[in-house]
Amino acid sequence: MKTNAIRVLENLGIPYALLSYEVDTEDLAAESTADKVGISADCLFKTLVVRGDRTGVCLAVIPANMHLDLKALARLTGDRKVDPVALKDVQPLTGYIRGGVTAIACKKDYPVYVEETIEIFDEVAVSAGTRGLLIQLAPADYLRAVKGTVGAIAQAKTESL
């Protein structure tokens, strides 16, 4: 299956590999997806849709095993605050459903902010724009494809006792 995200990469001449996995609609967590395809959760990047009070909708791309730092993202975007958009608004805004959101070939050309740790990997994986399929590619190629701005926008998840 060729998604719009894959078409964009091909048009840009960006090399990639596809990783497919079995979708469990009861568990769409990015960490579970990383386990299914046999990669580390820190090099699988999930795309979150947020809205800033000044700049509007943007996309935050962070490792599967981290949380979005809303204050850090707001500083990077120039907003006073940013908040995640409601799940019901994700598909109308992006054209993608939960578990398949990608910054590549989004419905609109939203600003994309990427956690800086992306640059330490040789390859990362992101959604191909549909559940059950990931794109694996070089971080620099991903950043070029999404015109991403890199910054410290994520923090480690804390374990609750």
pLDDT in tens, the chain (161 residues): 799 999 999 999 999 999 999 998 888 888 889 999 999 999 999 999 999 999 999 999 999 999 999 999 999 999 999 999 999 999 999 999 988 999 999 999 999 999 999 999 999 999 999 999 999 999 999 999 999 999 999 998 775 54
Tokens 């079995």 sit on residue: 22
Which amino acid appears at position 114 of this protein? V
User: Domains in the chain: how many in total?
Assistant: 1
- Asked whether the beta carbons of 54 and 111 are under 8 A apart, the reply is no
pLDDT of amino acid 161: 46
Please give the pLDDT value at position 15.
Answer: 98
CATH of the domain at 74: 3.90.960.10
In a domain, 160, yes or no: no
- What residue numbers bound the domain in which 120 lies? 4-155
Type and span of the H or E element at 142: helix 139-146
